[in-house]
Amino acid sequence: MSAPKRFQPPTGTRDFFPADMAVRRHVEQIWRQVALRHGFDEIDGPTFEHLELYTVKSGDEIVSELFSFRRAGGEKDYALRPEFTPTLARMVAAHGSDYPKPIRWYSIAPMFRAERPQRGRLREHIQWNCDVLGDPSPRAEVDVLAAAAHTLALLGLDPAEVRIRISHRDLVTLLLTRLGGVAEAALTPALAWLDRRLKVEPAAFRARAGELGIATEALACLDELAGAPRPARALLGPAIDALGTRFGAIADGHPALRHLREIATRLEAAGVLDWCDLDLGVVRGLAYYTGTVFEIHEASGAERAIAGGGRYDRLVELFGGPPTPAFGFAMGDVVIRLVLEDRGRLGPRESYLPRPDAFVIDLAAGAPRQDAVLMQLRRAGLHARASGRSSTNLGKLLGDAAKARARTAVIIGSEFERGEVAVKDLDRGAQQVIPLAALDGALRSILHGGAAPH
């Protein structure tokens, strides 16, 4: 008989063993902590949607990027969600009137992309979204940008390592039309192609840009603006300081520039401005963005974008809802973990595993009294584990407790007959005998750094 086939996870996906899962939960905990502190409520939606939800805004060409399917005998096409924003917009279109404005929602959920896996991009990843809907003012942008900066700081990063690059689609459009001569009908594909500027060979990029009607002068100006992002603080000064000689005079007084200046003023008041750069090379290729856009990049540029987002004021309306201004962003777990690992911001994976409060050892191997003590502790809200080893060798059993990284060992020995157990503090080495009736309180005292009461 041949050996059973050993299966591997699908390409572009990951298995999360306990230590890997603990690191993932560490990142997710910070995402959730920041979202709650900044006033966002958690939501979720289905893992798969009607395929039309994605084609209605992006066209049929997006189908090749999705995991789409039709069930056997069915008539409807579905797709695993590649992003959360369409689901969010659908939910707001249907029930947004039930909630006071602005709506402030976040989600943490898996997303799927049917594309070639590469460093920083997998076919399945966990994504955090934060969105403000119903607020057209710069306050919405600042709320989201501040949450992003707060997250980076809690993850152990600083502005010298990670930059929030802010742009505005209307300013890039101005560049394309005034300097590049791009026709109105070609603006959407031109913006989508500009988003790929650093992802394709320069010769191929310029050839396609020419086909889209982007003049050489416009490309040179874009290179000047995108090649050397300026600190966003420059927005507080004259346009020529913020955008340079060639573009500053054209953009001076433009509503988009005024909008970015107000954002910069508010970011300064929030203490976030020094995280931010002005980079008109950021355009975000998705067609639904309508104004301010941003991406978060490692300062060295070694990784793809850590996060990205922008304003999408017409998407809810596209899905049948009322006109609803909206601004939000998404951060995936893949790139941020690479950055944290490369910069030494994550400790050993095992260090993120929860430490058991107590490891119960029964020196009368196989006795049911171990189960009674375990349940006593668990009912009291303590994290209690036990060895699966059948042994009366205390040294080996304490070794099991150490491998489990337990904080205390509860040793059931001869004292049990008179209603007592021994408790060993595995961090400090002290050991004492405790009445079973007082075990819960004694453990809590030890766990909080004190001595067990006698």
Query: 286-329: per-residue pLDDT in tens?
Result: 778 899 999 999 988 888 899 999 999 999 999 999 999 999 99
Q: Does residue 380 contact residue 340 with C-beta atoms inside 8 Å?
A: no
Give the model's pLDDT for residue 146. Answer: 97
Q: How many CB atoms lie within 10 A of CB 266?
A: 19
Is 429 strand, coil or helix? coil
pLDDT of residue 322: 96
Dump pLDDT digits (tens) for 377-406: 999 999 999 987 777 889 999 999 999 999
Domains, the chain, in order of start with CATH, read: 18-342 (3.30.930.10), 354-447 (3.40.50.800)
pLDDT at 243: 84
Written as six digits, the tokens of 402 are: 């150490």
Quote the pLDDT of residue 227.
Answer: 63
Cα separation, 345 vs 28, in Å, equals 15
**Host H or E run for residue 54:** helix 52-58
Question: Are the C-beta atoms of residues 47 and 110 closer than 8 Å to each other?
Answer: yes
Q: Which residues contact 398 (CB under 8 A, 6 or more apart)?
A: 361, 409, 424, 426
Q: How far apart are CA 309 and CA 166, in angstroms?
A: 10
C-alpha–C-alpha distance, residues 162 and 298, integer Å: 4
Structure token digits, residue 377 = 């502790």
Region of 245 on the Ramachandran plot (φ > 0 left; ψ -120 to 50 alpha; else beta): alpha
Cα 250 from Cα 254, distance rounded (Å): 8
**List of the chain residues with pLDDT < 70:** 1, 180, 198, 221, 224-227, 365-366, 450-454
How high is the pLDDT of residue 59? 73
The reported pLDDT for the residue numbered 284 is 83
pLDDT at residue 451, as a whole number: 56
Q: How many CB atoms lie within 10 A of CB 106?
A: 24
Would you state the pLDDT for residue 247? 82
The pTM score is 0.89
